[in-house]
Structure 1
Amino acid sequence: MLTTRRGFLTAVAGGVAAGVTAVDPGRAQPMAPVKIGAVVLGDFGVVAPTMVAIEKGFFRRNGVDAELIPFKGGPDLVKGVLAGSADIGITGATDPLVFRERGTTIRAIAETLEKNHFALVVGPSIKRLEDLKGGTIGCTAVGSTTWTFARMLAKKMGWDPEKDVRIVGVGGLDAQAAALKRGELQGFIFGDAGAVVEVQGTGRILMRLDEITPKWISLVAYSTDEVIKSKREALEKAVRGMFQGARFIRDNADESIRIASKGIGWPEAATRRAYELVRPLLSMDGRFDLDALRFMQDTLLDLGVLRKRLPLEEHYTPAFTPVKL
């Protein structure tokens, strides 16, 4: 299960200390503070690169004093970033499309996880997709990436998402797994943590969402136009540290699993399963798959999630990519 916020911060504080000891004192330099917001804590792809970069000292070697702050879904994260509680948000890639169209100044700065790592997790009463009709599907929050996927699934099945199935915002993984166990949800959509729930025996993965998305981007890092302008150098250094963390994860399974298991609060076996799903999807340079981004925009327009089409270049900037490690 997930750690509490206090336990998470304690674990991260220990990781910061470990990271500091790995830095050559002769290379000491002024540290630029950067707060990195995670859309949820319980997702390996979202948090592990930052956790690893903190513990291994990659941020500090780039002159960044990084702090990882977990939020409770996409809408909560975007509010935090807009309010200055975080400089960077790591989230599902639909968020910059949705929230930019709604008038905010957020803009994607790097693609962090390619393709689609989300899954539909169901309880024991659900044997096939058709069994979900009339039931309740959980997501992190209304308007989030997982909410979008739930609506896409309903459309695939020919269901009215307002009548044939209930789609409700529940929060993070702990809350969704508990609701599934109590029978309040018949299924929920989450990222790689779906594998964790399956390993723990709380539910099982009925389908991977890449089955309904031939092109997609799982996760991106974003900031606001204001922060991009005022803290560009600090953001560049922070993004480089994150991708150094991703490269370390790709090349060092056991230590990466240990760091993430401690930071998230998952058992090692469950963390290893999430690692196996995420590793092949990790971006190594942050460049955007523009065909996938355009397909996502088309899909959101078709679902009615977006009301109008903005030029694609308003949703992202290529200024920070490709990341040079």
Structure 2
Amino acid sequence: MNKGTVAFLRGLVVFTLLLARPVLVRSADTIIVGVSGPSINMVYSFVARDAGLWQKYGVDARVVLFEAGSLLAQAMLSGDVKISISSGPAAIAARTQGADTIIVAACVNTLPYSIVAAKGITQWAQLRGKKIAISRLGSGTDTAIRLVLKKYGLDAAKDVMIVQLGTQPSRFQALAAGAIDATIISPPLDLAAKKQGYQILVNIAELGIPYPQQVIETTDRFVRENPQTVKNFLKGFIEGVRYAATHKDETHKIITKYLNTADPEIVEATYQSYLQVTDYSAYPNMEGLRNAMEEVAQRVPAVKSKKPEDFVNTRFLKELEKEGFFKQLYK
């Protein structure tokens, strides 16, 4: 890797550690919002925060970054995180196993990743017997890689070795060091990898596989006790999604700040990926939930007795729609 890429990766790692520090002192009215990253999915929360859109609706939100969706799910179960932006499988598994986690909205209903392979690997068949890195077992990257391998005729349990290596920068570094043969990453690291000569086997977003990649999740208890907070949080979040799509220069600055890169090509590629994968309706995709449930059921068999509707509560989205919020926002 060249010096620019190394600096970029180090910046992402440092940023992850800074945001994931324990919260020592906070206001009683502050809600902790967990985000699984670092990757493009950070953009949604930081736009809403930095543009003052949560404040606009009276929500004091502190964003904390977690290196994997499975770790964020644990923080949700502990009660420290009140609302999270993560992948659907973690919520599906947790609720099936007795937690009261519930999906209240979604912003990405497809897979925004790319599969990046070592420079000598150019075909899917060459992955047989090879090591493929994800963040953690049970995370969104785990489910995504299994779905894509299946689509290309490979059995994740028999044909490849899936290893857990944490964050995307860590996985990319392992690929560069030759410790693994492929990994799953999202913008902007897929572009950085391509610029370094690594093979992009597939841009999964172009496959259009329905999947609850980024959902807004809370708990039944928090919904019961703080319905207006949940509703106002969604208003700020959804307005932030629209803001990013209509304020390119401002969003570029946010991407530059939080992904710690000034490379205009990487910033623009990240922004274009955002536009490509964002679902502006904010509704969870039921077919995508079914896809996630099929995969989660291999680890949590009780999921087979559930329906996609068991994992979602669209009450607030319906209320906002009835009140004309979406119509006003997108006029």
Q: TM-score range by the shorter chain?
A: 0.7 to 0.9
Identity among equivalent positions (%) equals 21
1:152 Cα shift?
2.6
Matched residue type, 2:301: R
Q: Which residue of structure 2 aligns with residue 4 of structure 1?
A: 14
Matched residue type, 2:33: I
Q: Which residue of structure 2 aligns with residue 37 of structure 1?
A: 34
Q: Which residue of structure 2 aligns with residue 20 of structure 1?
A: none
In the aligned structure 2, how far is the partner of 1:222 from the partner of 1:238? 11
Instruction: Work out whether residues 173 and 193 of structure 1, in 8 Å CA contact, stay in contact via their aligned partners in 2.
Output: no
1:266 to 2:261 alignment: yes
Q: Which residue of structure 2 aligns with residue 19 of structure 1?
A: none
> Deviations 1:187-206 (Å, cap 9, x if unpaired)?
11133344343355263421
Instruction: Work out whether residues 89 and 138 of structure 2, in 8 Å CA contact, stay in contact via their aligned partners in 1.
Output: no
Q: 1:160 to 1:35 in 2, by over 3 A?
A: same
Partner of 2:99, secondary structure, is coil
Q: Which residue of structure 2 aligns with residue 307 of structure 1?
A: 301
TM-score, structure 1 normalization: 0.84
Instruction: Work out whether residues 111 and 144 of structure 2, in 8 Å CA contact, stay in contact via their aligned partners in 1.
Output: no
TM-score, structure 2 normalization: 0.82
Q: Which residue of structure 2 aligns with residue 318 of structure 1?
A: 314
- Show the 5 A alignment for 1:40-79: 40-41=37-38, 43-44=39-40, 46-79=41-74
1:118 to 2:128 alignment: no
Partner of 2:61, secondary structure, is strand
In the aligned structure 1, how far is the partner of 2:67 from the partner of 2:291? 27
Q: For 1:294, which of 277, 290, 293 is the aligned residue?
A: 290
Q: For 1:236, which of 231, 235, 239 is the aligned residue?
A: 231
1:79 Cα shift?
0.5
Return 208-217 or 227-236, whichever deviates more.
Answer: 208-217
- Show the 5 A alignment for 1:193-272: 193-198=188-193, 200-201=195-196, 203-210=198-205, 214-268=209-263, 269-272=265-268
Instruction: Work out whether residues 138 and 169 of structure 1, in 8 Å CA contact, stay in contact via their aligned partners in 2.
Output: yes
- Show the 5 A alignment for 1:125-164: 125-164=120-159
1:33 Cα shift?
1.7
In the aligned structure 1, how far is the partner of 2:103 from the partner of 2:143? 18
1:277 to 2:287 alignment: no
Instruction: Work out whether residues 19 and 65 of structure 2, in 8 Å CA contact, stay in contact via their aligned partners in 1.
Output: no
The count of corresponding residues between Structure 1 and Structure 2 is 302
Q: For 1:191, which of 186, 192, 202 is the aligned residue?
A: 186
Instruction: Work out whether residues 180 and 203 of structure 1, in 8 Å CA contact, stay in contact via their aligned partners in 2.
Output: no
Q: For 2:172, which of 157, 174, 177 is the aligned residue?
A: 177
1:296 Cα shift?
3.4
**Which runs of 5 or more residues in structure 1 are unaligned?**
11-29
> Deviations 1:16-36 (Å, cap 9, x if unpaired)?
xxxxxxxxxxxxxx9942211
Q: Which residue of structure 1 aligns with residue 24 of structure 2?
A: none
In the aligned structure 1, how far is the partner of 2:237 from the partner of 2:167? 23
In the aligned structure 1, how far is the partner of 2:197 from the partner of 2:13? 17
Matched residue type, 2:31: V
1:259 Cα shift?
0.8
In the aligned structure 2, how far is the partner of 1:121 from the partner of 1:96? 27
Give 4+ residue runs of structure 1 displaced > 6 Å after superposition.
Answer: none
> Deviations 1:212-268 (Å, cap 9, x if unpaired)?
664333211101222222222112111211111111110111210111220122334
1:89 to 2:84 alignment: yes
In the aligned structure 2, how far is the partner of 1:267 from the partner of 1:8? 20
In the aligned structure 2, how far is the partner of 1:96 from the partner of 1:76? 12
Partner of 1:255, secondary structure, is helix
> Deviations 1:5-51 (Å, cap 9, x if unpaired)?
478559xxxxxxxxxxxxxxxxxxx994221111112x11x211211
